[in-house]
Structure 1
Amino acid sequence: MNQHVSEYLSTGPSFREGEVIERIESFRSRRPRLRDEFINLAHGAGGKASAALVDAVFLEAFRNPHLESLGDGAVLTLPDGQQLVVSTDSFVVQPLRFPGGSIGHLAVHGTVNDLAMAGGAPCWLTASFVLEEGFPVAELKDIVADMAAAAEAAGVQIVTGDTKVVPKGAADGLFITTTGVGLVPPGRQLSARRVRPGDRVLISGTIGDHGMAVMLARGDLAIEADIRSDTASVADMVERLHGAAPSVRWLRDPTRGGVGTVCNELARATGLAVVLDEDRLPVRPDVGGACEMLGIDPLYVANEGKFIAVVAPEEADAALAAIRSHPAGIDAAEIGEIAEEPASTVVVRTPFGGTRIVDMLVGDPLPRIC
């Protein structure tokens, strides 16, 4: 256990607080159970309800070793030893266009980033469109042009696809699903099983930009702020990271449910603690102000152009420098570390010397943000 976390555990919680943490650990070791009879918006939020739905319905039906890791993509080994990574994602964001991007940009960036998080160099995409009767052709052309530009910038090709049209009222304008394929360089392995106590937790930039941009673009809130989505491919930034820190342990892009949910997934997968420092979390003032007005923790707000990396402590400085060398990574920061205790828990240290536990997201405060 590293010195900072040891000091917190020795001087922070009292005996009674320690008992509370033990009880929390016991409850958190249990996977969420599906108790609902009908689907609700929380099942798509990426938090506890999503985990329960995936476990009880999809994992139960499709169980296999590739799926059980519940990663952003599946790494498949061909007979010649070459490894591929495959990932798929659907996009239902509303509105279809928002400051900084559109559903077309998201449809490319989201899947490209999932491939990069699984260790792959993105190569090809498929695209499937569900169109509502009456959708303007001119708007469709604009969105497809956004996809083409995003794919070219990311260095991938859209190689096949499908189109379906449903009657008016049977969909909300346009839904897009993309599937991606990438190549995994020899020797590259990313897994929660490789994470160790003492490892450092990095974030590639400011958090919460995308979720807040979409919320404000809907026009339902009397809040004015110049917030733009961060939607972008992170693949090039990730390759710089691998070059500087060959022993990168684990990567994940904090989309639905944000940094808090992703860190909880890591804590549960490893049985270790993720200890974050609140004053080191990079949050733009406009985003922080909007979150405060809405009563939303920025840790739970979605991002579409950021990633979290867990790296060995001896490579942390080089890894951070590599990310910051990219124009999109100038706000990258080391935000925490991995500890042995409290097991399977995310702990945030506040600037005032206190601590709080960050649980999995409950409910869906920001529906349809991707």
Structure 2
Amino acid sequence: MRLVRSRLPLDVRDELVSLLGGMCFFLSTVEHVIPKPLPFFRVGLANLPLLISPDLLPFCAYARLVFLKVIGQALVSGTLFSYVFVLSLAGSTASGALMYALRFVPCRYLSCVGISVMGAFCSNVIQLTLARVLVFGAGVWYVLPLFCALGAVSSTLLGALTGHFLSHSQWYAHLQNAACGQQDTAPPASLFFPVQAGCECTAPCSEHGLRPRVLRYVRMGTGLLLLLILLCVPRLSVQASVCGIALLLYAATGGRIRWMTLAGLWVGTLACYLRPPVGRVWATVLGVPLTSGALSAGARQACMASGMVYLSKWILRVPPHLPGKFGQTVVHALSLMHRLSSFKLRGARRNATQEIDRILLALWATRQRTPTRR
């Protein structure tokens, strides 16, 4: 059953955007370690806050949360300066707008499952269309059935979880009461999680002083120059060299290269370029001809895609400085993400809704004991 739409006060709304943004960051971290057939495919866990929030936030605050989710995914995966960020931004914007609009449809006609599935379908179509234009070419349509099937399954499960959560969450009911000016009826957070004084985690702070700033700008300039070479010089030898440099730079600064993910990116990209056949046939695998032109084009795109991802990861090894109110929201969300990662799960397999509710109640209770900034 869909709950009554709420209009929260401004200060509570800002805190809620930060909290849900922290959830997006945390769930993006979980998503990042799940193997995927294409680099921009995601299970959709980070969409859970987007499915919860339309009944709590006005459109402007909801749009801020959507962009916060996109930024969080890019920072967690290190793809802020790659084509993956463009695909994620386009898909999340389109699906977020659609899901927000669909929440106005009465629940007897459309459930959370329907909203989640339609949002996932919208995101998949937008991302595949852009991927066809920017990276993979016409071969991307060969993975369309698998892409949509996985998206339908994951979005159905996510929608069912969201619907159950909205109907049973004490945290959500507490926000409804706060929006209506009623007395807080939420149980103490200590019943769910012992909140200890002085244990609040903070996000990684940006370095101060002239030298760290200079090093940050040097790293940024070097990375952007290599990205420019990667994009503007369409020669396999040059792109392979830049890709190798990106991997070396990332590994030299302590980054962990996920070789299985990298191999999956290469295999998926090459598979997308096998049709149509171009050039001399080198071999035939399962009835599919491996031609020189198709493999060369696929290798160039794979070098460009993996080089962009790891250059972006290397640039973001130094935390970026984000000014303004939105930058403060990102920092606050990162802090909440670190706090979320410190919670111990208790029987999450038996009752995921109760686990999510317990954690949100604990974080919200901690927030209420802290003076609100205006």
TM-score w.r.t. the length of structure 2 is 0.24
Max Rg structure: 2
TM-score, normalised with respect to structure 1: 0.24
Between structures 1 and 2, the one with greater strand share: 1
